Chain A
C-alpha cells in the first residue's frame, strides 16, 4: 500500500510557511502539505468543520507539524483537542517551534506530542531536519491504524 504522505502544517508566520514548504520540497518525500494558519483552521480541517465542512474526516494527514505560538487557539490547546478526540488521538504530532524553553517542551510532551523539534535559525540545518523528519515519520515509522 502506498502511503499518502500528507502533512498538516499549522503555522501562522508566512515566512515560516514558505521556508518549511521549501525545506520539505527539497527532501522529495512529502506528497502534499496542507497549511492551517491558526489553531481554529487546523481543528476545522481535522474535524471537517467550518470552512472544511464536507471533507471526509477519516482522511487524516499522516503527520501534523504544530507551531506553539498561534493566534486565538494556541498550539498546546490544538494538541489537547487532537488527543481528546478518538478520530485524531493517535495521529503523530510534532511540535515545531522556535522555542527552546523547557516549559514548552515539558507541556508539549505532557499533552502527548510525539516529538519536539526546535526550528534552527540556520536554514541549512532546518533543511536537514525536514529531511530527517520526513524520512523517519513518513517512511520508516509505521503509521497508526485508521481510527474507526
Chain B
C-alpha cells in the first residue's frame, strides 16, 4: 500500500506542485489548504507524511505539529515543515516541536520528496511490520523472476535491479532488509556492489548474499572478502537460496536508523549578514539540488546547528555580533558538528585573513568575489572529502570491529571448547562413578552374603564341633559382615544423593515426619518415646531426598535416646532472617560442641559402635542433600543433654503456616 502524504499549504501552486511530485514518486497525495482541513483529514485517515506550511490562513503550522505529536498515532507520522527562509526562529521552534525536517521556501521539489521517502523508510524500520524487503540484483530475467516468485511466496516484499549501479540506487532509496546480488553483472560486479554497501553508513548493516557460478572456485573467498554474509551457487536449489536469505535476515543487525545514505539529499547551511548575498548563494546551490538553510548571524547559525544536521557550512568571516571567527571556533569545538566541512567566505582577499580562517579550524576558504562556479566546486569537493573521510573512518572502524569480533569469536570458541571438554570429562567421570556404584551394589555384597550365610550354617549345623570361643568368633564374623553390608548401603546412598536429579516440589515436612516416625518406631516396638511434631511445616524440596534426611535425623534421635527413660524427640521450625530453619531435637546422648563440625564428615563417629550402632555416614548424606538444595545444616548439643540438628533450605523458600 502506498504511503499517504498530506500537503498542507495555503498556496495552490505549492499544493499542486508537491502533490504531483509525490504522486509521481508513488505516494498517495492529499492537498489541504487550511489547518482545519488538515485536522479533519488527520482524524479520518492514517497519514504517513505531513508536509506542513508554518503560516496557514487559519493558524500556526507549528501549533498543528504539536497537536499531531500529542495525538496517539501522531508519533509515527513523518512531518516536514515548509517555510520561507527569513524566520530562523520558526525553524528552531519547529525542530524542537518535533518536526522531522524543515525545508525552506523556495524549496527543491525533488529534495522534499526524497527526504520524505527517506524519513518514511527510517520510520518503517522503527515500526517493523514483520515483512522483509529483499533486493535482487541480477541481469538474468529468468533467475530473477524465479527468485522473486519464491521470495514473495515466503511473504517478502521483493525489489529488483538489473545492474549493480541500479541496485545501489534502489538500496539507497528503499533500504532493503537484505540484498541478493549476482556475482557477474554488466557494469560493476557483485563483489563491488557489496563493497559499496559496506561503505555506506546507512546500508552497511544490510545482509548481502552473493550468487556465484558453480565452476567459480575462488568465489566464496571473494564473496567473503567483499563483505558478503553468505554466498549461494546459482545452480543450488531455490530453497537453499530462500533458506540462506532467512538465515541472514535472522542474523542481521538493524541498521542505525539515524544514518543517512551517501546517495541521499544534502543540506548546506549558509551564514551571512547580507540577505542579498545569502539569496544569491541559495539560488545557485538549490539549482545544484542542495537544500539550503540560511542564517543571518553566527548566533542564528549556532542555534540552528543545535537542532539540525547539515552536510556543509558556508560561513562569512565578517559579521556583526558573534562574528565569523568566533562562530567557527565554537562550531569546531562542538563534538559532532565539528566534523561538518566549513568553508569561510570573506571579501578580504588577503593572505592573512585566509590563514587566520584556516588556523581556527575552517576546512577551506573562498573569497566572496569568486565566481559561483568556484563556490559550487569547492562545496562539492568539501562534501566529497568529508564523504571519503567518513568512508575511510568507517573502513577503519569496520576493520577494528571485525578484529574485535574475531578475537571475541576466538575467545568464545576457546571457552566453548574448554567447557565442552569439561562437561565431557564430568560426564565420563559421572558415568564411571555410576558404573562403579553399580558393581559395588552387585558384587561387593555377594561375598558378604557367603561369609554370613556359611558362618550361620556352621553355627547351626556344626556347633558341636566348635567350643564356646569358636562360636563367639563366628558370631563376630557374622556381625562384621553385616556391618560391612550396612557400610556399603550407606556409602551407595551417599554417592547417590550427590548425583540424583533434584525434583523440587512442595513437600509437607510434618506429614513426612509422621511417616518416618512410624517406621522408626517399628524398629523397636517395645520402646516408648514422646514424639512432638510441629504441624503445617511445608518446604519446596525434593520429596525423596527430604525423606532420606528425616530418616537419618529421626533415626539418629531414636538411636541416641535409646538409653533414656523419658525420651523426647521434637520436629520443629524457627524463623531466621532469610527464611525458616527446621530442626530435629532429642534429649539423648548428645555430643560435645567442639566436635560439632566432625559430625557431618563421613565415617566420623562420636560414639563407639558398641554404644550406639551406625556407620557414621547418615549425617554426611544429610549434609549433602541439604547443600544440594542450596541450604545449610548445623548442630547444637551437649554431652548427655541431647542434640539438635538444624537445617535451612535457603534456595527453596520456606513457607510458614
Contacts and interface: CB of A to CB of B under 8 A. Distances in A.
A122 B452 contact: yes
B456 A98 contact: no
A99 B446 CA distance: 10
B449 A121 contact: yes
A19 B446 contact: no
B457 interface: yes
A18 B446 CA distance: 13
B476 to A, nearest CB: 15
B156 interface: no
Contacts of A19: 449-450, 453-454
A73 B406 CA distance: 55
Contact of A121 (B437, B443, B445, B492): B445
A101 B441 contact: yes
A22 B438 CA distance: 28
Interface stretch (B18-26, B481-489, B598-606, B629-637): B481-489
B351 interface: no
B446 A15 contact: yes
Interface in B436-486: 437-438, 441-443, 445-450, 452-457, 478, 481-482, 484-485
A126 interface: yes
A124 B455 CA distance: 11
Interface in A62-83: 68-69
A98 B442 contact: yes
A126 to B, nearest CB: 7
A133 B449 CA distance: 19
B452 A98 contact: no
A13 B442 CA distance: 12
B453 A15 contact: yes
A18 B437 CA distance: 27
Given A100-B489, A121-B482, A124-B456, A16 B442 contact: no
A97 B481 contact: no
A136 interface: no
Interface in B354-397: none
A69 B449 contact: no
Nearest to B451: A121
Contacts of B446: 13, 15-16, 98
Interface string A3-21: 0000000000101101100
Q: Which of B437, B448, B453 has the most CB of A within 10 A?
A: B453
Contacts of A126: 449, 453
Given A121-B482, A121-B485, A124-B456, A101 B438 contact: yes
Q: Which of A16, A120, A121 has the most CB of B within 10 A?
A: A121
A77 to B, nearest CB: 16
Dominant secondary structure at the A interface: loop
Nearest to A119: B449
A123 B441 contact: no
Interface residues of B, number: 24
Contacts of A123: 449, 452-453, 455-457, 478
Interface string A76-95: 00000000000000000000
B453 A99 contact: no
A92 to B, nearest CB: 23
Interface residues of A, number: 20
Contact of B441 (A99, A120, A121, A124): A99
A13 B445 CA distance: 12
A68 B445 CA distance: 14
A70 B460 CA distance: 31
A35 B450 CA distance: 18
A22 B442 contact: no
Interface in A7-60: 13, 15-16, 18-19, 22
A101 B437 CA distance: 9
Contact of B449 (A16, A99, A100, A101): A16
B445 A98 contact: yes
Contacts of B453: 15, 18-19, 22, 123, 126
B449 A22 contact: no
A121 B481 contact: yes
B328 to A, nearest CB: 83
A84 B447 CA distance: 33
A27 B346 CA distance: 125
A101 B495 CA distance: 12
Contacts of B445: 98, 119, 121
A46 to B, nearest CB: 24
Contacts of B443: 69, 98
Q: Which of B441, B484, B485 has the most CB of A within 10 A?
A: B441
B441 A98 contact: yes
Nearest to B449: A121
A119 B454 CA distance: 15
Contacts of A100: 441, 489, 492
A15 B452 contact: no
A101 B489 CA distance: 11
A99 B439 CA distance: 9
B450 A15 contact: yes
A18 B450 CA distance: 9
B449 A15 contact: yes
Interface in A105-148: 119-124, 126
A69 B442 contact: yes
Nearest to B483: A121
B442 A97 contact: yes
Interface in B402-453: 437-438, 441-443, 445-450, 452-453
Interface of A: 13, 15-16, 18-19, 22, 68-69, 97-101, 119-124, 126
18 contacts: A19-B449, A19-B450, A68-B442, A69-B443, A98-B441, A98-B442, A99-B441, A100-B489, A101-B438, A120-B449, A121-B445, A121-B448, A121-B449, A122-B452, A122-B485, A123-B449, A123-B456, A123-B457
3 tightest CB-CB pairs across the interface, nearest first?
A121-B485, A15-B450, A123-B453
